[in-house]
Chains A and B, each alone.
Chain A
Amino acid sequence: MGSVTGLFTSETRLHPAAREILLDAIDKGWANPAKLHRPSRELANLLSESKAIFGRVLGLKEETISFVGEPTLAFYLGIEGLLQPMGDGRLIYPATSRQEIIAVAQSAPSSLSLDVDLDGCWDIPPALPGDLLVWPSSNGETGAQSLSPENFGGPIFVDATTDPIFSLPGRWSTALFDSRSWSGPAGLGIFAVNVQASWRNPMPHLDHRVVPGGFNPALAIASAVALEADCLDRRNSLTKTVELNTMIRNFLQSEMSDIDIASPLGALPHLLSFSFLYIDAEQLVDRMERRGFSIDSGSACISANLEASHVLAAMGRLTHGNVRIHLYPEHSQSDITSLLQALKEEVTLLRGNA
């Protein structure tokens, strides 16, 4: 995927396999796939092939899949469409859910935020009539994976926007995937409504389309290519990624002091979140960037709204001095050694200056 030696942020470049096909897809993606002209039929065929790839890789029936140009909108579609109109059911979600989910919950008539423990684990309560569960397959900051929601008796919205490689629970009602999570182009979500779900379109609508508004067909075609290629890359590099994750954890625990590792053992191996006591994350991120290492942080001083990560706060983890590392298949042991050495030196310097 090109050089990513110093890149450890969650945002990454488009997968080269998708980049290659995107320009060609733009050339072919101008027609209306619903019409009968030749370019329209060609595009319809390409989209059908893409849908088949999404269905096969994500474990969805093709007829359940809709493309959505604004993934954030699909959180509302997926959740609100399952809430019973005039019903008194609760929208139940873990406190570590994405902000988009919390925003939908805050506008729901009744909601229940579930406490999580230090590892981000949460218990699924028994469903009362009308209850709806939001089930994030994993957490985008810590990589903590959720326990199966099989025993929940009500409808389930699956938030799969963090990682495409997981098994859909046996019972699910609606699901959302984000193209960016497999190095696909931004601006495309895969929204699925289970054929057995009691879902109604919560948006004003005149026809049977699930998603109002359009999407860019070229992005859908390129995204399908990226999904196949990225999943293959990840499968091939899984053992190495687990080893690099272990290497980082061992270094942090043996070489550094006053550190709080938020990512539990068993979390997605390519994500690691940890916090250094007494460290200003803004200074640390800035110093690391100057040394050629791009890292993320969930600390308040880094965020756009100056609020600390609600995920870390809900878990009871240290919110200041936070660092988030995203491992890519291209990262080597030498890349990690350099990163960790730089982190150690900068943390030592900053603590000495405090």
Chain B
Amino acid sequence: MGKLCPLPIIDIALAVKDALPGTLFHLESDDPATWADLQAWGRMTGHHVRMIESTTFEIIAQ
């Protein structure tokens, strides 16, 4: 929380980097650009993303 773009996406990318497919991650971010960028990141990298609440997101490594 409190981090602006692109830091939330960099954080999740580093976390997911060596994860096994199916590993579940949670991201909390109050940057208004995070959801749009997380969806774009998921499209570009193949990871599954989902919004839980406005500042809470779920990522499943692929």
Q: Taking beta carbons and an 8 Å cutoff, which residues of A are in contact with B? A: 258, 260, 275, 277-280, 299-301, 307-308, 312-313, 316-321, 354
Contact assessment for B44 and A318 in the assembled complex, using a CB-CB cutoff below 8 Å: yes
The verdict on A318 contacting B37 (CB below 8 Å), with A258-B44, A308-B5 known, is yes
Distance of A318 Cα from B34 Cα, bound (Å): 10
The verdict on A320 contacting B5 (CB below 8 Å), with A308-B32, A312-B36, A354-B10 known, is yes
Contact assessment for A320 and B32 in the assembled complex, using a CB-CB cutoff below 8 Å: no
Distance of A307 Cα from B4 Cα, bound (Å): 11
Contact assessment for A277 and B41 in the assembled complex, using a CB-CB cutoff below 8 Å: yes
Contact assessment for A299 and B44 in the assembled complex, using a CB-CB cutoff below 8 Å: no
Within the complex, what minimum Cβ distance (angstroms) separates A306 from chain B?
8
The 10 closest A-B pairs by CB, nearest first: A318-B40, A320-B6, A320-B5, A313-B36, A308-B33, A300-B33, A278-B10, A319-B33, A319-B36, A354-B10
Q: Does B9 contact A (CB under 8 A)?
A: yes
**Residues of chain B within 8 A of A320, CB atoms compared:** 5-6, 9, 33, 37
Q: Taking beta carbons and an 8 Å cutoff, which residues of B are in contact with A? A: 4-6, 9-10, 13, 32-33, 36-37, 39-41, 43-44
Within the complex, what minimum Cβ distance (angstroms) separates B27 from chain A?
15
Name B39's closest neighbour in chain A (CB-CB): A316
Contact assessment for A260 and B44 in the assembled complex, using a CB-CB cutoff below 8 Å: yes
Distance of A312 Cα from B32 Cα, bound (Å): 14
Name B32's closest neighbour in chain A (CB-CB): A307
Distance of A33 Cα from B34 Cα, bound (Å): 55
The verdict on A278 contacting B5 (CB below 8 Å), with A260-B40, A317-B40, A320-B33 known, is no
Name A313's closest neighbour in chain B (CB-CB): B36
**Residues of chain A within 8 A of B10, CB atoms compared:** 278, 354
Interface SS of chain B = helix
Choice from A277, A301, A308, A321 contacting B36 with Cβ under 8 Å: A308
Distance of A308 Cα from B36 Cα, bound (Å): 9
The verdict on A280 contacting B40 (CB below 8 Å), with A308-B32, A319-B33 known, is no
Interface SS of chain A = loop
Contact assessment for A278 and B44 in the assembled complex, using a CB-CB cutoff below 8 Å: no
Contact assessment for B5 and A300 in the assembled complex, using a CB-CB cutoff below 8 Å: yes
Distance of A159 Cα from B13 Cα, bound (Å): 40
Distance of A313 Cα from B13 Cα, bound (Å): 20
The verdict on A301 contacting B41 (CB below 8 Å), with A278-B10, A308-B36, A319-B36 known, is no
Contact assessment for A300 and B4 in the assembled complex, using a CB-CB cutoff below 8 Å: yes
Distance of A210 Cα from B43 Cα, bound (Å): 48
Within the complex, what minimum Cβ distance (angstroms) separates A264 from chain B?
15
Most buried by B among A275, A301, A316, A318: A318
**Residues of chain B within 8 A of A321, CB atoms compared:** 6
Distance of A312 Cα from B5 Cα, bound (Å): 14
Name A262's closest neighbour in chain B (CB-CB): B40
**Residues of chain A within 8 A of B5, CB atoms compared:** 280, 299-301, 308, 319-320
- 5 inter-chain pairs at a CB distance below 8 angstroms, sorted by A residue, are A260-B44, A275-B40, A300-B32, A316-B40, A321-B6
Name A321's closest neighbour in chain B (CB-CB): B6
**Residues of chain A within 8 A of B43, CB atoms compared:** 316
Contact assessment for B40 and A279 in the assembled complex, using a CB-CB cutoff below 8 Å: no
Name B40's closest neighbour in chain A (CB-CB): A318
Within the complex, what minimum Cβ distance (angstroms) separates B23 from chain A?
20
Within the complex, what minimum Cβ distance (angstroms) separates A84 from chain B?
35
Name A310's closest neighbour in chain B (CB-CB): B36
Distance of A344 Cα from B43 Cα, bound (Å): 23
Distance of A168 Cα from B36 Cα, bound (Å): 34
Contact assessment for A277 and B32 in the assembled complex, using a CB-CB cutoff below 8 Å: no
The verdict on A278 contacting B6 (CB below 8 Å), with A258-B44, A308-B32 known, is yes
Contact assessment for A278 and B33 in the assembled complex, using a CB-CB cutoff below 8 Å: no
